[in-house]
Chain A
Amino acid sequence: MPGAIYAEGLVKHFGDVKALDGVDLDVPEGTVLGLLGPNGAGKTTAVRCLATLLTPDAGRAVVAGIDVLAHPNEVRRSIGLSGQFAAVDEYLTGRENLQMVGQLYQMSAKAAKRRAGELLEQFGLADAADRPSKTYSGGMRRRLDLAAALVVRPPVMFMDEPTTGLDPRNRQALWEVIKDLVGGGTTLLLTTQYLEEADHLAHDICVVDHGRVIARGTSDQLKARTGGERVEVVVHERGHIAPAEEVLRAFAKGGGGATVEEHTRKLTVPVTGGAKLLAEVIRELDARGIEIDDIGLRRPTLDDVFISLTGHAAEVQDAAGDDAEKEDVK
């Protein structure tokens, strides 16, 4: 049985740019799929196709059991959109925005009003409910935007870079809200440029680049592909680099040496053995009188995964593809 969000061979061109080049997705009910990729990779285009905002040139999509191309309006009853492309009206108050969205979801005026009140309470916006949303902080506006997507408690949600531009505290807060939501059984497709975000929220991750899915799996599976953990040590003085290197070599996996960054006095060595091994390293360094500023066991981040998969870091902007996605917002 296909999942709550299912896509097969989605293709979309914008002029000469192939924004989607055969994307397959399958999100089981009640899970979160993170679409991860740099700007212009095609993440937004994929979501727009699934959310009935764009018609793909080829391929098939089924959302909540309904064929997206054949019955877009049926799909619209079952989805909620949030993120960069689905805004709220900044001149309307939070309450007016939610009421309007509720009514346009075909709720009665009364039901829409009641639901708006509930959501404002739930998202901590009750105090600001009757102020134009223009006066809201970035975090409040994102919460309102998310609330607008939840007016009818849709079984399937799409979020396009929900926390882009938020400060860390607000990002954390929004993550909690999203986790609660998913705990309630909602199926979620999330796009993000933040590897940490995908790591935090998604059960499965698809890495997208140039309109194609280049890797998929759980966060752990993707990390495992990139290689294991490593120990990083920052020594206090430059003179301690050489002896520290000697110590680390003894712990190195496969008998290799440590990588040294002279100017930051940082040594890195691939290891196996986890925290127990870290304690041994510290004891050994201490025994030799090597003073350290920092030491830690580092597991590969999705950043490392991304670089090893694509050959470039996730932040790199793909100018051509970025234009393509803008064009599609036109």
Chain B
Amino acid sequence: MTAVTEAAQLAPRPAGGVGQSIRDSLVVARRNLIRMTRIPEIVLFGLIQPIMFVVLFTYVFGGSIQVGSSISSQAYREFLMAGIFAQTVTFATAGAGAGIADDMHKGLIDRFRSLPMARGAVLTGRTLADLVQTALTLVVLAGVALLIGWRTHESFGKVLVGFALLLLLGYAFSWIGALIGLSVRTPEAATSGGLIWLFPLTFISNAFVDSNKLPTVFRHIAEWNPFSTTVQACRELFGNLPPGFKTPDAWPMQHPIWASIIWSVVILVLFRTLAVRKYRKAAG
């Protein structure tokens, strides 16, 4: 008995509250960022894909898609970029899902769940690390876009607000990825399950075409799509709306910045709550 009490030592009492949540989240985020530096392929592939999309859409479809009243390829190029940026931040959610599914699979989540750490810190840490990766990807992608002729026509401040909205959307979506990652049995399933729904989401939108030209049902979906609102907001903030573009009458399209913030916050709160609850019950 004495030997036990002498040898044993309890972990320090958790501070609890928001302070501990932030600290634990940062510890986990650091771990995920270290992982990224050790597996640079993942970051690299995350970059190649959007660059490919930029090139494909600009040079393959660019000449044949009319936006607004302009058929110039420069107008489409500028119109397109907000869509590609938004697509990039949402596709990053598949990574969050796969990463969490992998941790579940390898037993790391069990290690974390046996530690006296803040609830949700494992998921917050993961999504924060993904946010950092997304931000880096956006920087590189914006550089490529500038190289092939994308230009903004608004103040630098507005452009930054546009990128902030993109990151907020990406962060909100990474919680959907987290929930998927916790719900599937294998990392492979998380990757495909994390991607499937992104295709209709990003294509039934204003990202690549003028939503005014979509069939009625798709047009309504596109105009209320949270993804579209961020794209529309960015086009306004970047000054990338093509000449003669008629802004749809739907409320989110008329007030895209607010609509984008509201959508992102709603998604963030809803899916964070669901994901943390799922994590707590992960195995019973």
Residues on A facing B (Cβ under 8 Å):
4, 12, 29-30, 48, 51-55, 73-74, 76-79, 81, 84-92, 96, 100-101, 103-107, 132, 148, 152-155, 184-187, 328-330
> Would you mind naming 10 contact pairs between A and B with Cβ atoms under 8 Å apart?
A30-B4, A88-B111, A104-B28, A104-B112, A106-B20, A154-B8, A155-B4, A186-B8, A329-B104, A329-B107
CA distance A74 to B108 in the complex (A): 20
* With A152-B10, A154-B8: A29-B114 Cβ-Cβ less than 8 Å: no
Which residues from chain A contact B114 at a C-beta distance below 8 Å?
A: 51-53, 76, 79, 81, 86
B24 touches A85 (CB 8 A): no
Count, A-B residue pairs, CB within 8 A: 140
B38 touches A91 (CB 8 A): yes
B39 within 8 A of A: yes
Closest CB pairs A-B (n = 4): A155-B8, A185-B3, A87-B107, A185-B4
CA distance A184 to B3 in the complex (A): 7
B255 within 8 A of A: no
Which residues from chain B contact A87 at a C-beta distance below 8 Å?
A: 106-108, 110-111
B135 within 8 A of A: no
CA distance A107 to B110 in the complex (A): 19
Which residues from chain B contact A153 at a C-beta distance below 8 Å?
A: 7-9
A152 touches B9 (CB 8 A): yes
CB of B178, distance to nearest CB on chain A (Å): 16
Contact with A along B38-62 (1 / 0, CB 8 A): 1100000000000000000000000
Which residues from chain A contact B13 at a C-beta distance below 8 Å?
A: 77, 106
Within the complex, which residue of B6, B31, B115 is in contact with A76, where a contact is CB–CB below 8 Å? B115
Which residues from chain A contact B30 at a C-beta distance below 8 Å?
A: 100
* With A155-B4, A330-B104, A330-B283: A106-B11 Cβ-Cβ less than 8 Å: yes
B7 touches A85 (CB 8 A): no
* With A86-B110, A100-B27, A152-B10: A73-B34 Cβ-Cβ less than 8 Å: no
CB of A51, distance to nearest CB on chain B (Å): 5
B35 touches A89 (CB 8 A): yes
Which residues from chain A contact B116 at a C-beta distance below 8 Å?
A: 73-74, 76-77, 104-106
B1 within 8 A of A: yes
B147 within 8 A of A: no
A73 touches B14 (CB 8 A): yes
Which residues from chain A contact B15 at a C-beta distance below 8 Å?
A: 106
CA distance A51 to B4 in the complex (A): 19
B35 touches A91 (CB 8 A): yes
CA distance A107 to B282 in the complex (A): 26
B244 within 8 A of A: no
B20 touches A104 (CB 8 A): no
A101 touches B284 (CB 8 A): no
* With A89-B31, A185-B6, A185-B7: A104-B12 Cβ-Cβ less than 8 Å: no
Of all chain B residues, the one with the shortest Cβ separation from A184 is B7
A185 touches B8 (CB 8 A): yes
Which residues from chain A contact B7 at a C-beta distance below 8 Å?
A: 153, 155, 184-186
* With A89-B31, A96-B34, A106-B13: A54-B3 Cβ-Cβ less than 8 Å: no
Of all chain B residues, the one with the shortest Cβ separation from A4 is B4
A29 touches B110 (CB 8 A): no
CB of B95, distance to nearest CB on chain A (Å): 15
A48 touches B111 (CB 8 A): no
Which residues from chain B contact A4 at a C-beta distance below 8 Å?
A: 4
A187 touches B107 (CB 8 A): no
Of all chain A residues, the one with the shortest Cβ separation from B26 is A103
Q: Report which residue of A81, A86, A92, A184 has the largest number of chain B beta carbons within 10 angstroms of its beta carbon.
A: A86
* With A89-B35, A153-B8, A185-B4: A106-B14 Cβ-Cβ less than 8 Å: yes
CA distance A74 to B111 in the complex (A): 16
Of all chain B residues, the one with the shortest Cβ separation from A28 is B1
Of all chain B residues, the one with the shortest Cβ separation from A90 is B106
Which residues from chain A contact B185 at a C-beta distance below 8 Å?
A: 330
Of all chain B residues, the one with the shortest Cβ separation from A56 is B284
A132 touches B38 (CB 8 A): yes
Which residues from chain B contact A81 at a C-beta distance below 8 Å?
A: 110-111, 114
CA distance A217 to B67 in the complex (A): 81
CA distance A238 to B13 in the complex (A): 71
CA distance A206 to B165 in the complex (A): 58
B209 within 8 A of A: no
A55 touches B115 (CB 8 A): no
Which residues from chain B contact A74 at a C-beta distance below 8 Å?
A: 116
Which residues from chain A contact B34 at a C-beta distance below 8 Å?
A: 91-92, 96
Which residues from chain A contact B4 at a C-beta distance below 8 Å?
A: 4, 29-30, 155, 185-187
* With A91-B39, A106-B15, A328-B283: A148-B111 Cβ-Cβ less than 8 Å: yes
Of all chain B residues, the one with the shortest Cβ separation from A105 is B11
Q: For the A-B complex with A12-B284, A152-B10 known, give 18 more contacts whose Cβ atoms are closer than 8 Å.
A: A53-B113, A53-B114, A76-B114, A76-B115, A77-B14, A78-B11, A86-B110, A91-B38, A92-B31, A92-B38, A104-B24, A104-B116, A106-B117, A153-B8, A154-B10, A155-B10, A184-B7, A186-B8
Interfacial residues of chain B within 88-136, with CB under 8 A of chain A in the complex: 104, 106-108, 110-117, 121
A100 touches B31 (CB 8 A): yes
Of all chain B residues, the one with the shortest Cβ separation from A78 is B10
CB of A143, distance to nearest CB on chain B (Å): 16
Which residues from chain B contact A88 at a C-beta distance below 8 Å?
A: 108, 111
Which residues from chain B contact A85 at a C-beta distance below 8 Å?
A: 107, 110
Within the complex, which residue of B8, B31, B39, B111 is in contact with A86, where a contact is CB–CB below 8 Å? B111
CB of A6, distance to nearest CB on chain B (Å): 15
Of all chain A residues, the one with the shortest Cβ separation from B10 is A77
CB of B145, distance to nearest CB on chain A (Å): 31
